[in-house]
Amino acid sequence: MTEPDSLQLLKNLPFYDKLTKDEQNEILVSSGFVHYKKGEILHNHHSECLGLIVLYDGRIRVTVQSDEGREITLYFLDKGDIDVLSAACVINQLTFDTEMIADTDSYVYIIPASLLSRLHTQNIYLHSFIYELTANRFSDVMWSMQQILFLKMDQRIANGLLDEYARTDSLKLTITQEELARNISSAREVVARILKRMEQDKLIKLGRGFIEITDIDRLESLI
């Protein structure tokens, strides 16, 4: 992939035109693109504060992990999404550690935390944008928690399949049972058992490396 135009990307950010010319230039000089391979960790509690990220291409999974090692998927970032939860050093109110993992090969634009920390204290528009973005991400986190706490497993699986369908616009989903289980924060064995039952009920068809939705209306009725 040829490296995109940094200036054009910055101009599309909601807060960019509210920055002073000097602030705009500082971001342009100090920020840049980083390529992450599938499975590579962008950020976790062991790494330095990353900053504000813009996902130019790919997909990123944001998770939290318990002391016992259980991993919960909080949300995904897709092309064009902006995120700041990897900048806990900038936002003092962030009191839990997240991990960002490249779900596919991903190309990310990063505004470093050191610069972000200084600029957001001197520019009210950037300051407001960061806190609004943080609030939106916590809404995503709460939605994920509600799914885990209040929905039956077959509903969570149906939601996971329909989300993947909405993202890819294809009924044949190139997703494994293990990946689906990870996405909905469940055990593979549990997901595999319910998927088999769904296949017997002719809602889906299981294959090597794919799950095909064969009756989307009935799948939607589970939710």
Q: What is the pTM of this model?
A: 0.84
- pLDDT for the residue 94: 57
Same domain, 185 and 144: no
Q: Mind listing the pLDDT tens digit for each residue in 35-91?
A: 999 999 998 877 788 899 999 999 999 998 877 778 899 999 999 999 988 776 776
Residue 27 located in a structural domain: yes
**End of a domain among 98, 118, 149?**
149
pLDDT band at residue 220, thresholds of 50, 70 and 90? very high
Domain range for 169: 151-221
**End of a domain among 149, 174, 195?**
149
**End of a domain among 131, 149, 167?**
149
- 161, amino acid identity: L
Same domain, 82 and 105: yes
List, in order, residues 6 or more apart from 129 with CB less than 8 Å away. Answer: 14, 15
- pLDDT for the residue 65: 82
Q: Mind listing the pLDDT tens digit for each residue in 188-206?
A: 999 999 999 999 999 999 9
Residue 1 located in a structural domain: no
How far, in Å, CA of 119 to CA of 90, rounded?
Answer: 10
**Per the structure, how many domains does the chain have?**
2
Structure token pair of residue 198: 């769904």
Our CA dihedral for 206, 177, 61, 134, rounded to 10 degrees, sits at 90
**Average pLDDT over the chain, rounded to whole?**
91
